[in-house]
Protein backbone atom coordinates (compact mmCIF):
# COMPACT_ATOMS: atom_id res chain seq x y z
CA UNK A 1 0.00 0.00 0.00
CA UNK A 2 1.35 3.45 -0.88
CA UNK A 3 0.28 7.06 -1.34
CA UNK A 4 1.31 9.44 -4.10
CA UNK A 5 1.03 13.25 -3.84
CA UNK A 6 0.78 15.85 -6.60
CA UNK A 7 3.14 18.22 -4.75
CA UNK A 8 6.48 17.85 -3.04
CA UNK A 9 6.03 16.49 0.49
CA UNK A 10 8.38 15.91 3.42
CA UNK A 11 9.12 12.39 4.67
CA UNK A 12 10.54 12.01 8.20
CA UNK A 13 12.89 9.14 9.02
CA UNK A 14 11.57 9.06 12.62
CA UNK A 15 8.61 10.54 14.46
CA UNK A 16 9.46 14.27 14.48
CA UNK A 17 7.47 14.99 17.67
CA UNK A 18 10.00 16.44 20.13
CA UNK A 19 12.88 15.67 17.74
CA UNK A 20 13.64 18.77 15.66
CA UNK A 21 16.84 17.13 14.32
CA UNK A 22 14.96 14.24 12.65
CA UNK A 23 16.26 13.67 9.14
CA UNK A 24 13.82 14.41 6.34
CA UNK A 25 13.53 13.99 2.58
CA UNK A 26 11.47 15.53 -0.20
CA UNK A 27 9.19 12.88 -1.73
CA UNK A 28 6.00 12.41 -3.70
CA UNK A 29 5.39 8.77 -2.77
CA UNK A 30 5.27 7.06 0.65
CA UNK A 31 4.49 3.58 1.96
CA UNK A 32 3.03 1.88 5.04
CA UNK A 33 4.46 3.16 8.32
CA UNK A 34 5.81 6.41 6.85
CA UNK A 35 5.29 9.83 8.45
CA UNK A 36 4.93 12.70 5.99
CA UNK A 37 3.72 16.30 5.78
CA UNK A 38 2.15 17.55 2.57
CA UNK A 39 0.47 20.64 1.12
CA UNK A 40 -1.70 18.41 -1.11
CA UNK A 41 -5.47 18.25 -0.54
CA UNK A 42 -5.65 14.70 -1.91
CA UNK A 43 -3.44 11.67 -2.40
CA UNK A 44 -3.52 8.69 -4.75
CA UNK A 45 -3.82 5.43 -2.80
CA UNK A 46 -2.60 2.21 -4.43
CA UNK A 47 -3.07 -1.21 -2.86
CA UNK A 48 -2.55 -4.82 -3.85
CA UNK A 49 -3.95 -7.35 -1.36
CA UNK A 50 -3.38 -11.10 -1.71
CA UNK A 51 -4.93 -13.41 0.86
CA UNK A 52 -4.80 -17.18 1.57
CA UNK A 53 -8.61 -17.27 1.52
CA UNK A 54 -11.27 -15.33 -0.36
CA UNK A 55 -11.51 -11.61 0.44
CA UNK A 56 -14.91 -10.68 1.82
CA UNK A 57 -14.15 -6.94 1.95
CA UNK A 58 -11.44 -4.34 2.43
CA UNK A 59 -12.20 -1.23 4.45
CA UNK A 60 -10.12 1.82 3.56
CA UNK A 61 -9.91 4.05 6.63
CA UNK A 62 -8.73 7.45 7.79
CA UNK A 63 -8.33 6.90 11.52
CA UNK A 64 -11.60 5.31 12.69
CA UNK A 65 -13.59 6.49 9.67
CA UNK A 66 -14.31 3.98 6.89
CA UNK A 67 -14.50 6.06 3.72
CA UNK A 68 -14.43 3.26 1.14
CA UNK A 69 -15.33 -0.45 1.13
CA UNK A 70 -13.86 -2.64 -1.61
CA UNK A 71 -15.18 -6.07 -2.57
CA UNK A 72 -14.10 -8.50 -5.32
CA UNK A 73 -17.72 -8.80 -6.47
CA UNK A 74 -20.76 -6.63 -7.21
CA UNK A 75 -24.50 -6.82 -6.61
CA UNK A 76 -25.31 -8.71 -9.84
CA UNK A 77 -22.91 -11.48 -8.74
CA UNK A 78 -24.74 -12.26 -5.49
CA UNK A 79 -26.17 -15.70 -4.93
CA UNK A 80 -28.26 -17.45 -2.27
CA UNK A 81 -25.59 -17.34 0.43
CA UNK A 82 -26.40 -15.19 3.47
CA UNK A 83 -23.83 -14.32 6.12
CA UNK A 84 -24.98 -13.51 9.67
CA UNK A 85 -22.43 -12.12 12.15
CA UNK A 86 -22.58 -10.82 15.72
CA UNK A 87 -19.82 -8.99 17.52
CA UNK A 88 -18.76 -6.54 20.22
CA UNK A 89 -18.26 -6.29 23.97
CA UNK A 90 -20.00 -4.80 26.98
CA UNK A 91 -17.24 -2.26 27.60
CA UNK A 92 -13.44 -1.98 27.58
CA UNK A 93 -11.41 -3.95 30.09
CA UNK A 94 -12.03 -7.08 32.12
CA UNK A 95 -15.50 -8.55 32.38
CA UNK A 96 -16.37 -7.28 28.90
CA UNK A 97 -17.91 -10.57 27.73
CA UNK A 98 -21.15 -10.25 25.78
CA UNK A 99 -23.47 -13.26 25.78
CA UNK A 100 -25.36 -13.86 22.56
CA UNK A 101 -28.41 -16.14 22.65
CA UNK A 102 -30.12 -16.25 19.30
CA UNK A 103 -32.41 -17.99 16.85
CA UNK A 104 -32.55 -17.44 13.07
CA UNK A 105 -35.67 -18.65 11.23
CA UNK A 106 -36.41 -18.75 7.50
CA UNK A 107 -40.08 -18.32 6.60
CA UNK A 108 -40.30 -19.64 3.01
CA UNK A 109 -36.96 -21.25 2.22
CA UNK A 110 -34.83 -24.14 3.43
CA UNK A 111 -31.17 -24.33 4.38
CA UNK A 112 -29.12 -26.44 1.98
CA UNK A 113 -25.69 -25.66 3.49
CA UNK A 114 -24.58 -24.36 6.89
CA UNK A 115 -21.04 -23.23 7.81
CA UNK A 116 -19.90 -21.68 11.10
CA UNK A 117 -17.52 -18.70 11.24
CA UNK A 118 -15.05 -18.22 14.11
CA UNK A 119 -16.63 -20.82 16.38
CA UNK A 120 -13.50 -21.47 18.43
CA UNK A 121 -15.07 -22.79 21.65
CA UNK A 122 -16.26 -26.38 21.14
CA UNK A 123 -18.54 -26.05 24.18
CA UNK A 124 -20.53 -23.13 22.73
CA UNK A 125 -23.73 -23.85 20.82
CA UNK A 126 -23.95 -22.79 17.16
CA UNK A 127 -25.77 -25.24 14.93
CA UNK A 128 -28.51 -25.78 12.40
CA UNK A 129 -31.81 -27.04 13.75
CA UNK A 130 -34.03 -28.75 11.12
CA UNK A 131 -34.30 -27.26 7.64
CA UNK A 132 -35.15 -23.65 8.49
CA UNK A 133 -33.50 -22.67 11.79
CA UNK A 134 -30.10 -21.88 13.31
CA UNK A 135 -29.62 -21.58 17.08
CA UNK A 136 -26.69 -20.24 19.12
CA UNK A 137 -25.47 -19.65 22.68
CA UNK A 138 -22.12 -17.89 22.36
CA UNK A 139 -19.87 -15.16 23.79
CA UNK A 140 -17.97 -12.34 22.10
CA UNK A 141 -15.34 -10.13 23.75
CA UNK A 142 -14.86 -7.65 20.89
CA UNK A 143 -14.40 -10.30 18.21
CA UNK A 144 -17.05 -11.47 15.76
CA UNK A 145 -18.54 -14.84 14.88
CA UNK A 146 -21.54 -16.21 13.02
CA UNK A 147 -22.52 -18.44 10.11
CA UNK A 148 -23.23 -18.74 6.41
CA UNK A 149 -26.40 -20.37 5.14
CA UNK A 150 -27.07 -21.40 1.56
CA UNK A 151 -30.78 -21.51 0.75
CA UNK A 152 -32.87 -23.26 -1.90
CA UNK A 153 -34.69 -20.04 -2.77
CA UNK A 154 -34.89 -16.36 -2.09
CA UNK A 155 -38.46 -15.79 -0.94
CA UNK A 156 -39.89 -14.89 2.43
CA UNK A 157 -38.12 -13.42 5.46
CA UNK A 158 -35.14 -14.09 7.66
CA UNK A 159 -36.09 -13.46 11.30
CA UNK A 160 -33.37 -13.20 13.93
CA UNK A 161 -34.29 -13.12 17.61
CA UNK A 162 -31.58 -12.46 20.22
CA UNK A 163 -31.25 -11.38 23.83
CA UNK A 164 -30.03 -8.00 22.50
CA UNK A 165 -32.91 -7.34 20.11
CA UNK A 166 -34.67 -8.73 17.05
CA UNK A 167 -34.50 -8.07 13.33
CA UNK A 168 -36.82 -9.27 10.55
CA UNK A 169 -35.56 -8.78 7.01
CA UNK A 170 -37.22 -9.80 3.72
CA UNK A 171 -34.79 -11.86 1.66
CA UNK A 172 -35.15 -9.39 -1.21
CA UNK A 173 -33.70 -6.63 0.99
CA UNK A 174 -30.61 -8.60 2.03
CA UNK A 175 -28.11 -7.43 -0.54
CA UNK A 176 -24.50 -6.26 -0.80
CA UNK A 177 -24.55 -3.72 2.04
CA UNK A 178 -24.85 -4.71 5.70
CA UNK A 179 -28.25 -4.81 7.38
CA UNK A 180 -27.50 -4.05 11.03
CA UNK A 181 -29.02 -4.21 14.47
CA UNK A 182 -27.01 -2.00 16.84
CA UNK A 183 -27.05 -3.23 20.44
CA UNK A 184 -24.97 -0.66 22.34
CA UNK A 185 -21.84 -1.52 24.25
CA UNK A 186 -18.53 -1.53 22.37
CA UNK A 187 -19.56 -2.01 18.73
CA UNK A 188 -22.05 -4.64 19.83
CA UNK A 189 -24.16 -5.49 16.83
CA UNK A 190 -25.58 -8.16 14.58
CA UNK A 191 -25.48 -7.85 10.81
CA UNK A 192 -26.40 -9.78 7.70
CA UNK A 193 -25.54 -9.52 4.00
CA UNK A 194 -25.41 -11.64 0.86
CA UNK A 195 -22.40 -13.23 -0.80
CA UNK A 196 -21.57 -15.14 -3.94
CA UNK A 197 -22.44 -18.82 -3.99
CA UNK A 198 -18.90 -19.56 -5.19
CA UNK A 199 -15.63 -18.96 -3.34
CA UNK A 200 -14.45 -15.36 -3.29
CA UNK A 201 -11.43 -13.96 -5.11
CA UNK A 202 -8.19 -13.91 -3.12
CA UNK A 203 -6.65 -10.79 -4.67
CA UNK A 204 -7.75 -7.15 -4.95
CA UNK A 205 -5.70 -4.44 -6.67
CA UNK A 206 -7.11 -0.92 -6.57
CA UNK A 207 -6.25 2.75 -6.98
CA UNK A 208 -8.32 5.65 -5.67
CA UNK A 209 -8.18 9.30 -4.69
CA UNK A 210 -8.16 10.01 -0.95
CA UNK A 211 -9.37 13.35 0.42
CA UNK A 212 -7.15 14.53 3.26
CA UNK A 213 -8.35 16.42 6.33
CA UNK A 214 -7.47 20.09 6.08
CA UNK A 215 -6.08 20.19 9.63
CA UNK A 216 -4.36 17.67 11.86
CA UNK A 217 -3.29 14.13 11.15
CA UNK A 218 -4.56 11.62 8.61
CA UNK A 219 -3.95 7.95 9.41
CA UNK A 220 -4.55 6.10 6.13
CA UNK A 221 -4.78 2.31 6.54
CA UNK A 222 -6.78 -0.72 5.47
CA UNK A 223 -8.58 -3.56 7.26
CA UNK A 224 -8.97 -6.82 5.33
CA UNK A 225 -11.75 -9.32 6.12
CA UNK A 226 -11.48 -12.80 4.63
CA UNK A 227 -14.13 -15.35 3.81
CA UNK A 228 -13.13 -17.68 6.66
CA UNK A 229 -13.51 -15.01 9.36
CA UNK A 230 -9.95 -13.72 9.71
CA UNK A 231 -8.85 -10.07 9.74
CA UNK A 232 -5.62 -8.32 8.81
CA UNK A 233 -4.59 -4.68 9.19
CA UNK A 234 -1.96 -2.61 7.45
CA UNK A 235 0.29 -0.17 9.27
CA UNK A 236 -1.04 3.37 8.77
CA UNK A 237 0.55 6.02 6.61
CA UNK A 238 0.64 9.13 8.80
CA UNK A 239 -0.07 12.25 6.75
CA UNK A 240 0.08 15.70 8.34
CA UNK A 241 -1.06 18.80 6.48
CA UNK A 242 1.36 21.70 6.04
pLDDT of 20: 78
Across residues 170-189, what is the average pLDDT?
A: 91
Please tell me the distance from the alpha carbon of residue 153 to that of residue 240, in angstroms, as a whole number. 51
How far separated are the first and last CA of the chain, in Å rounded? 23
How are beta strands 165-170 and 111-117 bridged, if at all? unpaired
pLDDT of 95: 63
Q: What is the pLDDT of residues 98-119, one digit of tens each?
A: 999 999 999 999 999 999 999 9
Confidence of residue 81 (pLDDT cuts 50, 70, 90): very high
How many other CB atoms are found less than 10 A from the CB of residue 48?
11
In this structure, are residues 85 and 91 in contact, taking their beta carbons and an 8 Å threshold? no
Q: What is the pLDDT of residues 92-103, one digit of tens each?
A: 777 688 999 999
Task: Give the mean pLDDT of the chain.
Answer: 93
Confidence of residue 18 (pLDDT cuts 50, 70, 90): confident
How many other CB atoms are found less than 10 A from the CB of residue 239?
25
Half-sphere exposure of 12 (CA within 13 A, CB side): 18
- Residue 208 pLDDT exceeds 90: yes
Amino acid sequence: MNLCFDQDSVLFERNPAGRPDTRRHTVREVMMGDIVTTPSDTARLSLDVRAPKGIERIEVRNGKQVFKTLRPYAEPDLGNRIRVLWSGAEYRGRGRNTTWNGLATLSEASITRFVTINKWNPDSLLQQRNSDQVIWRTITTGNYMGFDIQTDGYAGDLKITTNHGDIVMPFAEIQLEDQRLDAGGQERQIKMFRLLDASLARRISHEMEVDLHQHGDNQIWIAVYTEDGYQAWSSPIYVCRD
